[in-house]
């Protein structure tokens, strides 16, 4: 499995591929935080973040913080099954937090700096689901910049703390989902351009078709700060009617960019 900027995302996709391999560490060294922005349909991107949380806890044995505005009450059967396979010790490594507004989220993230003095290690993965929800009714571009800057600064701070502890659980990864076309009003393109300045890699989800309740998506990694192993990586995602998700990596072609797959 690649040890590039999107190691957790790639590990999650591989674990839900046609020939899933046993869990294994990516061997990613510490030193530099890894940040990714997942764009596209809010429901699918939310499930991608949950897969990432489960993968990090199960395969990397690290602590995970998952911020979302809506309590997760029900998951599709396959995601419930994935959660149930986690042992009690590793399941407790995932902590769900439900900030009610952007001010609450900012306060929660800012408080993570206090973990440097705590005996237990800080989280190695921070997930924020549905950033567009927290920006409603705000000066969206300035609020997005403020929140993104704090998240990235916090990930860098926690990466240094993880390195200082020398427990091999770094770097701190940060994955945020953002749906530009909220409620069909499409107000998010300007915000998306702001977020692109802060996140190293964008993982775009672009719907490719539907057959009954089965839906298909193109998934593409892009970003100016991506390593060569990340740029242009693409997957085909199939979401079955029971919620099962299967990722198939598409061979990358040097002459083909992600632009046709990155419409979000």
Check residue 125 and give its pLDDT: 93
d(CA 134, CA 261): 26
CATH topology for 7-23+32-250 is Rossmann fold (3.40.50)
For the entire predicted model, the pTM comes to 0.81
Q: What is the mean pLDDT of the chain?
A: 76
* Over residues 141-160, mean pLDDT: 94
**Percent of the chain residues past pLDDT 90, beyond the cut:** 26
Residue 253 confidence (pLDDT) above 60: no
What does DSSP assign to residue 260?
A: T
The beta strand positions in the chain, using DSSP E, are 34-39, 64-67, 94-97, 125-128, 173-178, 201-211, 214-222, 234-239, 245-250
Q: How many helices and strands in the chain, by DSSP H and E?
A: 8, 9
C-alpha distances (whole Å) from 73 to each of 65, 76, 96, 98 are 17, 11, 12, 12
Provide the terminal-to-terminal Cα distance of the chain, rounded to the nearest Å.
26
170-191 pLDDT per residue, tens: 789 899 999 877 555 545 788 9
CB-CB contact of 71 with 80 (8 Å): no
Q: Is the pLDDT of residue 108 over 70?
A: yes
Q: What is the mean pLDDT of residues 117-140?
A: 89
Residue corresponding to tokens 């059967």: 77
**Domain map of the chain by residue range?**
7-23+32-250
* CA–CA dist 198, 225 (Å, integer): 10
Residues 6+ away with beta carbon under 8 Å from 131:
144, 147, 176, 177, 178, 195
Beta strands 214-222 and 201-211: pairing type? antiparallel
DSSP state of 232: T
Structure confidence at residue 57 (pLDDT): 85
Give me the sheet containing 125-128, strands edge to edge: 94-97, 64-67, 125-128, 173-178, 34-39, 201-211, 214-222, 234-239, 245-250
Residue whose tokens read 């998934």: 219
Q: Report residue 113 as tokens.
A: 């700096």
φ, ψ of residue 14 in degrees (nearest 5): -65, -35
């Amino acid at each position: 499995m690649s040890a590039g900027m999107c190691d957790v995302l790639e590990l999650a996709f591989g674990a839900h591929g046609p020939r899933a391999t046993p869990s294994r560490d990516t061997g990613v060294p510490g030193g530099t935080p890894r940040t990714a922005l997942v764009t596209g349909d809010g429901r699918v991107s939310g499930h991608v973040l949950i897969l990432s949380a489960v993968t990090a806890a199960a395969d990397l044995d690290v602590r995970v913080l998952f911020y979302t505005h809506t309590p997760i009450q029900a998951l599709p059967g396959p995601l419930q099954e994935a959660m149930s396979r986690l042992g009690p010790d590793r399941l407790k490594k995932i902590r769900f937090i439900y900030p009610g507004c952007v001010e609450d989220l900012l306060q929660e993230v800012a408080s993570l700096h206090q973990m440097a003095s705590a005996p237990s290690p800080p989280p190695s993965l921070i997930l924020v689901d549905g950033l567009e929800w927290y920006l409603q009714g705000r000066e969206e571009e300035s609020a997005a910049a403020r929140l993104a800057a704090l998240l990235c600064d916090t990930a860098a701070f926690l990466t240094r703390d993880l390195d200082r502890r020398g427990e091999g659980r770094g770097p701190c990864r940060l994955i945020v989902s953002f749906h530009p076309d909220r409620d069909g009003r499409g107000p998010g393109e300007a915000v998306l351009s702001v977020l692109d300045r802060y996140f190293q890699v964008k993982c775009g989800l672009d719907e490719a078709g539907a057959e009954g309740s089965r839906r298909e998506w193109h998934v593409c990694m892009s970003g100016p700060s991506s390593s060569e192993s990340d740029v242009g990586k693409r997957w085909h995602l199939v979401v079955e009617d029971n919620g099962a998700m299967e990722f198939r990596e598409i061979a990358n072609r040097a002459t083909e960019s992600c632009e046709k797959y990155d419409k979000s």
